[in-house]
Chain A
Amino acid sequence: MLTIACPHCGPRAQAEFVYERTVDSVVPLDAEPAEAVAALFTRANPRGEDDEIWRHTHGCGGWLVMRRHRVTHAISAIRAIGPETLP
């Protein structure tokens, strides 16, 4: 089980978090049809690092994006997202 450093709460067990999706599978609002279909059904699925969206569901509820290596599971970067992170 990974230890994930929540930007708000610090390092916590993976069991407190829920995986949402990869960043490249986010469908923007008002996406062109082809863009939406590509995001949903033809993902990159790299054998290497990828940016993933997780939520600290059983903690603060905050959302985060983390860069995780999909073979070694090593997490190289984590940042918070949401209204509070806007300038």
Chain B
Amino acid sequence: MSGVAREGATIGFTFDGTRYLARPGETLAAALLANGVRLVGRSFKYHRPRGILTAGVEEPNALVTVGRGGRTEPNTRATDLFVYEGLEARSQNRWPGLAFDLGAVFGLASKALPAGFYYKTFFGHARTWLKYEAVIRRAAGLGPAPTEADPDHFSQRALFADVAVIGGGRAGLLAAREALRAGKRVVLIEQDAVLGGGLLRDPREIDGQGSAGWIATVEAELRSGGARILTRTTATGHWDDNMLCLAQKLVEPGQVPGHGFAQRMWHLRAGEVVYATGLIERPIPFANNDRPGVMLSRAVRTYIRRFGVVPGRRVVVATTNDDAYETARALRDAGAEVVAVLDTRPAPAGADSGFAVLNDSVPQAAKGGRRGVKGLSAVIAGAEQHFAADLIAVSGGFSPAVHLHSQAGGALDWDEGARAYKAGAARQAARTVGSAGDPPASGAFRPVGNAKASFLDFQNDVTLADIDLAWREGYRSVEHVKRYTTLGMATDQGKTSNLPALEALAHAGGMTVPEAGITTFRPPYTPVTMGAMAGAAQGEHAVPTRRPALYAVHAAKDPIWLNAGYWKRPRAYPRGSETLAQAGLREARSVRQLVGLTDVSTLAKFEVNGPDAARFLERICATTVAKLAIGRGRYTIMLREDGLVFDDGTVWRLGENRYLLTSSTSGASRMATHISYVRNHLMPEAKVSVICVQEHYAAIAVAGPKSVAVMEQLTGEAPPRHMSASQPTIAGVPVHLLAASFSGERAFEVHFDARHAAAVWQAIDDAVAAAGGCAYGLEAMELLRIEKGHLVIGPDIDGRLSADDLGMGRMLNPAGGYIGHSTLHRPAFAEPGRKQLVGLESVNGDSIPEGAMLVPHLGARAEGHVTGAVRRVLGPGHIALAHLADGRARHGQEIYARSLTRGHTTRVRVVAPHFYDPAGERYRD
């Protein structure tokens, strides 16, 4: 046991392995200060020793890693973490140890990482970045993210309120009570563990009661009146129409939640939002203002009055405003010595305070190192003076927490007296109350310390010198300066640094602060755990799972599954110890030589009915449709309005005014939307009904030379000719029997009511097995369709090629009228150099890497890429489909398929994209 013995300190925790005790209700920061720990971390870039600056969520310095394993949470603010029994906290960004850090000893980073370093390096030669990367990655950074999965569960809930009050201090409590008394549904949100806000720091009598009593009275009234009070909850974002995201900690970071949730994310809709968000105090820029022992004035007061911890015995107070005098009083009341109050303002500021006030005083440099400050020098009315101290309490003024107001589109008004932005006109039904709307006055001053050691953004190690450098290098927009220096881009989002940086930029440019501009406030207000954003959408629940009607039938065969979009589809049905490749090849050979069956239920399917059905389909499909005889079907393609092919399928005329349209599985929902758009927006007057029957119809493909015999046996009648349809029954179930092939063999698709999926599959499976065949999955389908040169949506038809590029130009309806026709005249469609669909054959029998770029010689620019590659099903050798510039004119050329990611390059010959039965003789009876 280390640290300081204290009455009531019963909660055991560790910091960097040393065990200490905390009192109930203490933050880690308060407990560390109470135990004499001042050095808490090392800074991001320069490894400077850092302590505790604040007492709230704005803390930039005191970031620790807590918890173990997958529950590890890096970059947790010690000021926003309530100690629990067994808490394990570790300092960050130090090696080998916090007190002795090599990065700091060598000072490597401070020379290597000035403002704009990343930009300059990235814009330089790529090798320059490679040279620095390893060093930077070791030197710069915060706590490492855990590599294990988070074992905790996170909840998400919706919430509705008439009035949402953000902030549980005096103003927030009053606003909530007023709304409740007016009969409103009220939600009160407080990020602290208890209500009270500033009253916890500055207790005072209200309505004849002490602070604690008054808070308890109001809380009781709110609770009994049905208001919902969410403590340990941060409103992290304010979105359109008064939607707020609330992140609620149900346990502290790193704490094991028992059986419940670790956190809950609320999605709140409020009729009115009341911001009672208070103020954020600003530091003062001077040399070494980041040392342990430099602390914001109100934080000092909070530690003394709320937590009973006095963070220094001999204190200099440096201020631009009256509020810090209250800190001086708190220090004096706690028995500390207030050496001096350095006030930037001229006399008579502070004259009647009773303290040793020095007016016109601007802090210049803190003395002391990692063990904490030893003193402060200041320029006082032009002369330098030094004060010995172990704590420097600073107040550079107060900025209202306008973050949510600004996120919600509210305007910001510059308050010259307070030298701060406060909420202006709100865009939504929202208003600001309490100190956030009325920041106290603050004096203006110019920093006098060494700019290179005067920190603005403590978390990203941005100094006054960095702002000056950015200005000298020509950066004028505050948004550019922010990105160039990374100011305000750390996890604290510049809560304490934003305004001091704007002041610095204004100084550099000889502007007023409003002229310097302001950066955008963005959610989240404080970092949100990824798990809370995901909620229950983790693991198998991360995306929906769609199971085809035949899922149970497949599962009984224990196939290798493939997640095809949201669908679970069999990839192969291995026998014995077969690998995926072996099973796929066996299944494909069964189709080539005998017969096979496969589940194609996931295809998009649309029933199109009505007198205008053909007219409608001739808009959707770029091929002719109206000429189809009843009982006939055809292959078709669909174009986007910009003339590029985006889907393909088949269209069947089942009756006089009845059609069945199928399209790709992967494009199914897009096609459904497209069809609905055309129907509702472009053809609202058409007499047509379009019904998506994707899941209503199960579909089974039967393919192979024996498929005709199998279908004849199953239906008791001669099956339809290629691209014809009939309506027999199988196993007593009426089916649409469509003679179409995706494999290159004579084949059929059987579409039928999905409720009978298992019975029909069983009948076909038995017949196929009797004929010596078997079921096949997506792996075999891939082997078969690539060999035949059939295309799939995604790799082959990728939305970048025209029908002509795909070799389908002659399929287009010569009468036009289809969607996409109006833009086909664009000159780019006729220019040389367009990518075209080709086949590739491996020259030396080697496999062809999928996704490989195609180059005429090694080192040349890519002229295309491989979209799909397989081995031949029956013969030897490897083949592929590809997109290649001017590919159709290049048949016979030998080029290289080169994949740097797969580390595989092979020589290929460009050929026509039909490797198997190019004349289609196997389709015919």
Residues of A participating in the B interface, judged by any CB pair closer than 8 Å: 1-3, 13-14, 18, 20, 26-33, 35-37, 40, 53, 55, 57, 61, 63, 72-73, 81-83, 85-86
B681–A1 contact, CB under 8 A? no
Assess whether B684 is in contact with A83, with CB atoms less than 8 Å apart: yes
Taking the closest CB of chain A, its distance from the CB of B502, in whole angstroms, is 24
A-B contact pairs, 10 of them (CB 8 A): A1-B240, A13-B243, A20-B677, A27-B819, A36-B823, A63-B680, A72-B427, A73-B240, A82-B679, A86-B684
Q: Is B326 an interface residue (CB 8 A)?
A: no
Which of B427, B619, B822 sits near A33, CB closer than 8 Å?
B822
CA distance A28 to B239 in the complex (A): 35
Task: Contacts A1-B243, A81-B684, A83-B684 given; indicate if A33 touches B825 (C-beta within 8 A).
Answer: yes
User: Judging by beta carbons under 8 Å apart, are B681 and A81 in contact?
Assistant: yes
Q: Are B823 and A33 in contact (CB under 8 A)?
A: yes
Residues of A within 8 A of B243 (CB): 1, 3, 13
Residue picked from B677, B819, B822, B826, most chain A C-beta under 10 Å: B822
- Known contacts A53-B681, A81-B681, A31 near B822 by CB under 8 Å: yes
Taken together as a complex, chains A and B put the C-alpha atoms of A85 and B684 apart, in Å, by: 9
Q: How far is the CA of A82 from the CA of B641 in the complex (A)?
A: 20
Of all chain A residues, the one with the shortest Cβ separation from B685 is A86
Residue B241 at the A interface, CB < 8 A? yes
CA distance A28 to B243 in the complex (A): 37
B 663-685 to A, binary, CB cutoff 8 A, 1 in contact else 0: 00000000001001101111111
- Bound Cα distance from A37 to B710, whole angstroms: 51
Which B-chain residue is minimally distant from A33 (CB atoms)?
B825
Asked if B845 is at the interface of the complex by the 8 Å CB criterion, the answer is: no
Which of B642, B681, B684 gathers the greatest number of chain A CB atoms within 10 Å?
B681
> Is there a chain A Cβ closer than 8 Å to B409's Cβ?
yes
Cβ-closest chain A residue relative to B243:
A1
- The answer for the CA separation of A2 and B239 in the assembled complex, in Å, is 8
Interface positions of B (Cβ within 8 A of A): 239-241, 243, 269, 409, 427, 619, 641-642, 673, 676-677, 679-685, 817, 819, 822-823, 825-826
Residues of chain B within 8 A (CB-CB) of A27 are 641, 819, 822
8 smallest A-B Cβ distances: which pairs? A36-B822, A82-B680, A3-B241, A31-B822, A2-B240, A1-B243, A27-B641, A63-B680
List the B side residues contacting A40 at CB < 8 Å. 641-642, 823
Q: Tell me if B822 and A61 are in contact (CB < 8 A).
A: no
Which has the most chain B C-beta neighbours within 10 Å: A26, A37, A83?
A83
User: How far, in whole Å, are A64 and B675 apart by their CA atoms in the complex?
Assistant: 16
Q: How far is the CA of A20 from the CA of B682 in the complex (A)?
A: 14
B residues near A53, Cβ cutoff 8 Å: 681
Chain A residues near B239: list those with CB within 8 A. Answer: 1
Knowing A55-B673, A63-B676 are in contact, say whether A29-B683 is a contact too (CB < 8 A). Answer: yes
Chain B min CB distance to A33 (Å) = 5
Cross-interface CB contact of A1 among B241, B676, B684, B825, cutoff 8 Å: B241
Residues on A with beta carbons closer than 8 Å to the beta carbon of B241: 1-3
Partner among A28, A37, A55 whose Cβ is within 8 Å of the Cβ of B823: A37
Q: Which of chain B's residues has its CB closest to A4's CB?
A: B241
Chain A nearest CB, measured from B913 CB (Å): 30
Note all chain A residues with C-beta closer than 8 A to B826: 33, 37
Give Cα A1 to B237, complex, Å. 11
Residues of A within 8 A of B642 (CB): 40
Return the chain B residue nearest A18 by Cβ: B673
Q: Nearest residue in A to B824 (C-beta to C-beta)? A: A33
* Additional pairs, 7, CB under 8 Å, beyond known A30-B817, A73-B240: A2-B240, A2-B241, A33-B825, A35-B822, A36-B823, A37-B826, A82-B684
Query: Residue among A36, A55, A72 with the most chain B CB within 10 A?
Result: A36
- B272 CB to closest chain A CB (Å) equals 14
The CA of A33 and the CA of B681, in the complex, are separated in Å by 19
B825 contacts across to A, CB distance below 8 A: 33
Check A29 against B682 for contact (C-beta < 8 Å): yes
CA A81 – CA B241 in complex, angstroms?
24
Given that A3-B241, A14-B240, A40-B641 are contacting pairs, would A63 and B681 also be in contact in the complex, using a CB cutoff of 8 Å?
yes
Find chain A residues with CB under 8 A from B677 CB. Answer: 20, 55, 63
Instruction: For the complex formed, measure the closest distance between the CB of B528 and the CB atoms of chain A, giving whole angstroms.
Output: 16
Q: How far is the CA of A11 from the CA of B905 in the complex (A)?
A: 57
| Whole-angstrom CA separation of A8 from B539 in the bound complex | 35
Instruction: Report the minimum CB–CB distance from B801 to chain A (whole Å).
Output: 18
Which residues from B are CB-within-8-Å of A73? 240, 409
- Complex CA gap A20/B753 in Å reads 32
A26 to chain B, nearest CB (A): 6
Q: Which one of B269, B409, B619 contacts A29 once the chains associate, using CB atoms below 8 Å?
A: B619
> How far apart sit A29 and B604, CA to CA, in the bound complex (Å)?
24
> Residues of B contacting A31 with CB < 8 Å?
822
Closest to B239 in A: A1
Q: Quick one: given A30-B817, A40-B642, A73-B240, are A61 and B676 in contact (CB under 8 Å)?
A: yes
Q: Which residues of A contact B819 (CB under 8 A)?
A: 27, 29
Tell me the nearest residue of chain B to A63, going by C-beta: B680
B678 — nearest CB in chain A belongs to which residue? A29
Contacts of B817 in A (CB 8 A): 29-30
A72 lies within 8 A of B409 (CB):
yes
Separation of A55 and B680 alpha carbons in the complex (Å): 11
A53 to B677, CA, bound (A): 10
A4 CB, nearest partner CB in chain B, Å? 9
- Do A57 and B680 touch across chains, with their CB atoms under 8 A apart? no
Are A26 and B822 in contact, CB atoms less than 8 angstroms apart?
Answer: no
